[in-house]
């Protein structure tokens, strides 16, 4: 298959929508990372997503919509979900909700679970592509399974050339880490994956603590929960004061001698936006490893450290 990379435009959006409606795969920008989209109602399109990523098929996908009402067709919203949607959509918050029977989704999209993850992205190109397709769009990050997520169109092509019909180029992603995955299927809500909306913000809105729960095993096992994930080729060493011999230092704040700096000013939003692109830029010769400065563990730092720990995990 030839992969077309097309700058975002009204024509590109229309072409992307037509491809999706025909069951083809299209990569498009969201505010978090680029997504690899397919029609969530079409089992063959969903299977093609798993195949293109080389992803273990027990991992459920997020279903993306362009309008909140579209999610009501296949997911059951309670009062908490409505309040969260009101405050954080469009934006980097994914809600795991009970799945409506006969909602039209492929079973494969949520890996046979009675729940479904749904998100309304803030990026105008993502929303336009989804609206043009007329489908709910299943979209994991547009990278081979286990590798660094793409925040630019060329990252998508590096990993998936020949495996996706079209890549819509909308420039660099502003948030840079994936959406927060919040499980609302139980009495207490819990974060399954830290991301672009912080647990502090969710907790403030719901008026209750929102624990981060890592599901160790079983059918809920998610790519974000596999120990080694978001992994560059080179080994990653965390909380480094300086680079050792052969290492590149990925700095934060006033780090001296950094090959790249996530945010010289120590701004966590800027660091999140730079994280995946800078990991890629340092994953090249002559470096033999990547050392990373300490990142504060609050706000977006929780999501950044989560991704860095997985990038550094034994493989």
Query: Least distance in Å: CB of 256 to ligand TXA?
Result: 33
Contact region with ligand TXA (CB under 6 A), list: 27-35, 202-210, 270-278, 293-301: 27-35
- Choose, by CB under 6 A, the member of 26, 30, 81, 135 that binds ligand TXA: 30
Query: Least distance in Å: CB of 71 to ligand TXA?
Result: 13
* Exposure string for 245-282, b = 16+ CB within 10 A, e = fewer: eebbbbbbbebeebbbbbbeeeebebbbbbbbbbbbeb
User: DSSP of 193-243, one letter per residue?
Assistant: E--SS-HHHHHHHHTS---B----SSTT--GGGSSS-SB-SS-EE-S-SS-
Q: Are 167 and 5 in contact (CB under 8 A)?
A: yes
Query: Least distance in Å: CB of 204 to ligand TXA?
Result: 21
Residues 210 and 194: their CA atoms lie apart, in Å, by 11
Per-residue mark of binding to Mg ion, 97-136 (x: CB under 5 A): ----------------------------------------
> Is residue 94 part of the contact set for ligand TXA (CB under 6 A)?
yes
> Is residue 141 part of the contact set for Mg ion (CB under 5 A)?
yes
- Choose, by CB under 6 A, the member of 13, 70, 77, 115 that binds ligand TXA: 115
For residue 90, cis peptide bond before it (omega within 30 degrees of 0)? yes
Which CB sits closer to ligand TXA, 156 or 243? 156
Which CB sits closer to Mg ion, 30 or 141? 141
Measured CA angle at 132 (ends 180, 119), to 5 deg: 15
Residues 111 and 89: their CA atoms lie apart, in Å, by 25
DSSP percent split of the chain into helix, strand, coil, nearest 5: 30, 20, 50
- Which does residue 236 bind out of ligand TXA, Mg ion, none, counting CB within 5 to 8 angstroms by kind? none
Interaction site with Mg ion (CB under 5 A):
141
Interaction site with ligand TXA (CB under 6 A):
30, 32-33, 35, 59-62, 92, 94, 96, 110, 113, 115-117, 119, 121, 139-141, 178-179, 181, 192-193, 220, 222-224
């Amino acid at each position: 298959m030839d992969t077309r990379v097309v700058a975002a435009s009204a024509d590109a959006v229309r072409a992307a929508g037509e491809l999706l409606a025909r069951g083809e795969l299209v990569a498009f920008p969201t505010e978090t990372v680029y997504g690899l989209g397919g029609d969530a109602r079409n089992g063959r399109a969903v299977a093609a997503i798993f195949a293109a990523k080389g992803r273990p098929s027990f991992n459920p996908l997020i279903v993306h919509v362009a309008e909140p009402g579209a999610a009501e067709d296949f997911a059951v919203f309670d009062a908490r979900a409505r309040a969260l949607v009101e405050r954080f959509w469009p934006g980097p918050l994914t809600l795991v909700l009970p799945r409506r029977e006969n909602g039209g989704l492929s079973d494969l999209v949520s890996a046979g679970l009675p729940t479904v993850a749904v998100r309304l992205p803030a990026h105008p190109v993502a929303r336009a592509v989804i609206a043009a397709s007329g489908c709910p769009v299943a979209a994991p990050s547009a990278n081979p399974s286990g590798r660094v997520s793409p925040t630019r169109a060329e990252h998508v092509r590096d990993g998936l050339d020949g495996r996706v019909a079209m890549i819509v180029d909308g420039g660099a992603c502003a948030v840079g880490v994936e959406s927060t995955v919040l499980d609302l299927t139980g009495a207490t809500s819990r974060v399954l994956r830290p991301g672009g909306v912080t647990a502090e913000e969710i907790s403030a809105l719901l008026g209750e603590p929102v624990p981060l729960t890592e599901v160790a095993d079983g059918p809920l096992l998610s790519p974000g929960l596999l120990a080694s994930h978001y992994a560059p080729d080179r080994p990653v060493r965390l909380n480094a004061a300086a680079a050792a011999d052969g290492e590149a230092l990925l700095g934060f704040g006033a780090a001296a001698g950094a090959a790249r700096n996530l945010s010289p000013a120590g701004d966590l939003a800027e660091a999140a936006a730079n994280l995946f692109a800078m990991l890629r830029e340092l994953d090249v010769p002559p470096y033999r490893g990547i050392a990373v400065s300490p990142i504060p563990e609050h706000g977006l730092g929780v999501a950044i450290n989560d991704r860095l720990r997985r990038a550094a995990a034994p493989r």
